[in-house]
């Protein structure tokens, strides 16, 4: 068990890196997912088709395949995902700006994959609003924008929060995959590094890594549980 | 989709239809131009559409075609084997675990009157502890990424001098995670049933075990069938994690092919298409089952208990981990 104390900084570093990529990927996926949800509920058929195609493709593909595309397909096209070196962000999250592109590839894959589920969560929220609400708003003379802002979105938001949270939890767990795609120093790669390269006993390292992930997932899950129960009462 | 539009928009009149038509044309043109400049041009510049790269995958007269597809077929067979084994194992283990949790929960509520006081306290303490232990196990394994469970199984078992084929590591890793999820699905299904079901069963003299086996479990399975099928999609997706422990599933075969043919994009496109085909048909099946079930339920006069959130959540997990709740 001494490895947990001796190498505490390694575990903490891995936790920090995993947290970084999770925060970045969550922001990216929320933005892209919102855009896709808008496309999917837009009145213009071709845009709707694009949204539907995006969701179908990324929801039915394993994240592993998306990761492979990003980590091996993009270099084949001669891209290093340099467009992710966003000026202010990369001074905050130093890994974004490093020369090794794997962090950016992993981030890209996570964002693309998670956005499909974010889109579905948001869309199912809008669908959960009873049609009568929007109809009543229209008959009161509210414009489309007012209708969305004052009637539909506040209600759909309530229905979306819990699924969105579950998507984010799933994303945190999915982020364990990045260690196997060349990102050095995240929690899952730390496990590999400590056991196979530095020869520490396996069980304590596994315990440490597990605690790292559980710290992120279990409280979020408990929070969602409470939200869900409160909503059930409110309804 | 038609239902979707009716929530936000009225049925379009002639003017609105004209606007929509113009909008559609403009959007199509913009999308086509965008696709040409952002996707087709860069790919073409790098020569990604050349027959040299695609040939072994799509051209039956190519010298390597049959060999390549033999390998992909082998990989697919391995993927499906692992998926089927993991699904069966996690269904069995998950059902048992779900039953155990339900039984323990009802045991903790029992007061064991009629027994000697110390014995009653002992039994209550025991059932309480067991219930807590299973609860903690469920939370822990649900909160861990499935990548790590597979990795831990593959690394941890040899530490104890137990070693299998990599297939079994993959199956065990997937089972550990998915059985916990299935147990939770079934448990929430059983707890969501109307209380009258269990009460009626007790009234006609069924024992608690019989009640669970003959009344609660079949109904829970039925209600949760869509969620269970979506969980199968997740398992199928997660078998792709076998590459971590160098199990020869589709993706790993793809990697080997790329090593020889040096055409990553083409191989991944084909593999992605295969996965999408399988999973899409499975999720269509889930939707179909859900429609059938909700139709069958209407006659009973109750609205169908819908597990849409669960279905959505479990879908999100594919390829690495699971949702919280």
Q: What percent of chain A is predicted at pLDDT more than 90? A: 8
ipTM entry: 0.81
Per residue in A93-125, pLDDT (tens digit) is 666 666 677 888 888 889 999 999 999 899 888
Q: Which of residues 21-50 of A touch B (CB under 8 A)?
A: 40-41, 43-48, 50
In chain B, what are the domain boundaries? 65-316
- Helix axis angle, B14-35 relative to A45-59, nearest 10°? 50
Among B3, B147, B324, beta carbon nearest to A165:
B324
Q: Per-residue pLDDT tens for B52-77?
A: 667 766 766 777 777 778 888 888 88
Q: Kindly state the DSSP code that residue B48 receives in the 8-state scheme.
A: T
* Closest CA of chain A from B181, distance in Å: 13
pLDDT of B108 > 70? The answer is yes
CA distance A69 to A103: 14
Could you tell me which chain B residue has the CA closest to the CA of A39? Answer: B27
- The span from the CA of B23 to the CA of A43, in Å, is 9
* Sign of the CA dihedral with A103 first, then A106, A112, and A115 last: negative
Q: Is A50 within 8 Å of B31 when comparing Cβ atoms?
A: yes
Is pLDDT at B323 greater than 60 in this prediction?
Answer: no
For residue A25, is pLDDT > 60? yes
Residues of A in contact with B142 (CB under 8 A): 221
Name the residue facing A62 among B7, B309, B318 (closest C-beta).
B318
The pTM for the full model equals: 0.83
The mean pLDDT value for A75-93 works out to 68
A141 touches B: beta carbon within 8 Å: no
Neighbours of A21 (CB within 10 A): 22
Tell me, yes or no, if A77 comes closer than 8 A to chain B by beta carbon. yes
Most B CBs within 10 Å: which of A11, A39, A77, A170, as the mutation test of the B interface?
A170
Instruction: State both tokens at A132.
Output: 């009568």
Residues in chain B with CB shorter than 8 Å from the CB of A177 are 145, 147, 241, 319-320
Question: What pLDDT is stored for residue B320 in this prediction?
Answer: 39
Query: Mind listing the domains of chain A with CATH numbers?
Result: 2-234 (1.10.3720.10)
Kindly identify which residue of chain A lies nearest to residue B266, measuring between CA atoms: A73
Tell whether A228 lies on the interface with B, counting CB pairs under 8 A: yes
Question: Which pLDDT value is given to residue A82?
Answer: 67
Structure tokens at A19: 């947290």
Cα dist. B19→A51, B26, B132, B219 in Å?
Answer: 20, 10, 61, 50
Pick the CATH number of B65-316 from 1.10.3720.10, 3.40.50.1980, 2.60.120.10, 2.130.10.10: 1.10.3720.10
Tell whether A206 lies on the interface with B, counting CB pairs under 8 A: yes
A186-200 in b/e form (b: 16+ CB < 10 A) is bbbbbbbbbbeeeeb
End-to-end CA distance of chain B: 28
Tell me how long chain B is: 325
Q: Is the pLDDT of residue B319 over 50?
A: no
CA distance A120 to A164: 9
Say if A60 is an interface residue toward chain B (CB within 8 Å).
yes
What pLDDT digit, counting tens, does each position of B197-245 carry? 888 988 999 888 888 888 888 888 888 887 888 888 888 888 888 888 8
**How close A144 gets to chain B, by Cα (Å)?**
8
A97, HSE (Cβ side, Cα atoms, 13 Å): 9
Nearest to A209 among B6, B24, B148 (CB): B148
Distance between CA atoms of residues B212 and B221, nearest Å: 12
**What count of CB pairs under 8 Å joins A to B?**
224
Concatenated DSSP letters for B187-200? HHHHHTS-HHHHHH
B145 and A177 in contact by Cβ < 8 A?
yes
Asked if A69 reaches chain B (Cβ–Cβ under 8 Å), the answer is yes
**Rounded to 5 degrees, what are φ and ψ at A56?**
-60, -45
């Amino acid at each position: 068990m001494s490895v947990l104390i001796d190498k505490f900084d390694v575990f903490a570093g891995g936790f920090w890196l995993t947290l970084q990529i999770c925060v970045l990927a969550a922001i990216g996926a929320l933005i892209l997912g919102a855009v896709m949800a808008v496309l999917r509920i837009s009145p213009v058929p071709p845009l709707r088709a694009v949204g539907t195609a995006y969701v179908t493709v990324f929801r039915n593909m394993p994240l592993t395949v998306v990761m492979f595309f990003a980590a091996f397909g993009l270099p084949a096209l001669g891209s290093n995902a340099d467009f992710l070196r966003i000026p202010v962000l990369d001074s905050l999250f130093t890994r974004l700006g490093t020369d090794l592109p794997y962090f950016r590839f992993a981030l890209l894959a996570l964002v693309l994959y998670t956005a499909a589920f974010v889109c579905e969560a948001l869309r199912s929220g809008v669908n959960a609003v009873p049609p009568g609400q929007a109809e009543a708003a229209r008959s009161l003379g509210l414009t489309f924008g007012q209708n969305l802002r004052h009637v539909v979105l506040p209600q759909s938001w309530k229905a979306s929060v819990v699924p969105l949270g579950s998507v984010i939890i799933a994303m945190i767990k999915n982020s364990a995959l990045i260690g196997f795609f060349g990102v050095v120093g995240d929690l899952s790669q730390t496990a590999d590094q400590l056991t196979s390269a530095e020869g520490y006993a396996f069980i304590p390292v596994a315990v440490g890594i597990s605690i790292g992930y559980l710290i992120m997932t279990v409280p979020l899950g408990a929070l969602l549980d409470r939200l869900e129960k409160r909503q059930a009462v409110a309804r | 989709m038609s239902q979707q539009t009716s929530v936000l928009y009225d049925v379009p009149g002639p003017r609105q239809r004209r606007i929509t038509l113009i909008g559609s044309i403009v959007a199509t043109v913009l999308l086509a131009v965008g696709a040409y400049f952002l996707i087709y041009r860069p790919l073409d510049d790098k020569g990604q559409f050349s027959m040299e790269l695609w040939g072994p995958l799509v051209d039956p007269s190519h010298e390597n075609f049959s060999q390549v597809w033999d390998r992909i077929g082998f990989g697919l067979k391995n993927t499906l084997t692992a998926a089927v084994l993991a699904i069966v194992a996690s269904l069995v283990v998950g059902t048992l675990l779900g039953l155990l949790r339900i039984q323990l929960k009802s045991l903790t509520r029992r007061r064991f009157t009629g027994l000697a006081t110390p014995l009653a306290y002992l039994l209550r303490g025991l059932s309480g502890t067991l219930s807590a232990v299973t609860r903690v196990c469920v939370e822990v394994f649900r909160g861990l990424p499935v990548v790590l469970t597979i990795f831990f199984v593959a690394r941890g078992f040899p530490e104890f001098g137990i070693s299998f084929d990599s297939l079994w590591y993959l199956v065990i890793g997937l089972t550990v995670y998915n059985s916990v999820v299935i147990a939770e699905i079934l448990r929430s299904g059983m707890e969501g049933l109307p209380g009258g079901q269990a009460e009626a069963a007790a009234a006609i003299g069924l024992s608690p075990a019989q009640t669970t086996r003959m009344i609660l479990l079949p109904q829970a399975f039925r209600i949760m069938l869509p969620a269970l099928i979506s969980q199968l999609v997740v398992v199928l997706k997660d078998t792709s994690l076998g590459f971590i422990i160098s199990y020869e599933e589709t993706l790993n075969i793809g990697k080997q092919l790329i090593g020889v043919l040096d055409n990553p994009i083409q191989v991944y496109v084909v593999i992605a298409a295969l996965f999408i085909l399988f999973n899409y048909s499975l999720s269509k099946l889930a939707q179909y089952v859900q429609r059938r079930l909700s139709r069958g339920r209407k006659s009973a006069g109750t609205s169908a208990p819908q597990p849409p959130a669960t279905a959505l959540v479990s879908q999100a997990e594919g390829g690495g981990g699971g949702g919280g709740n």
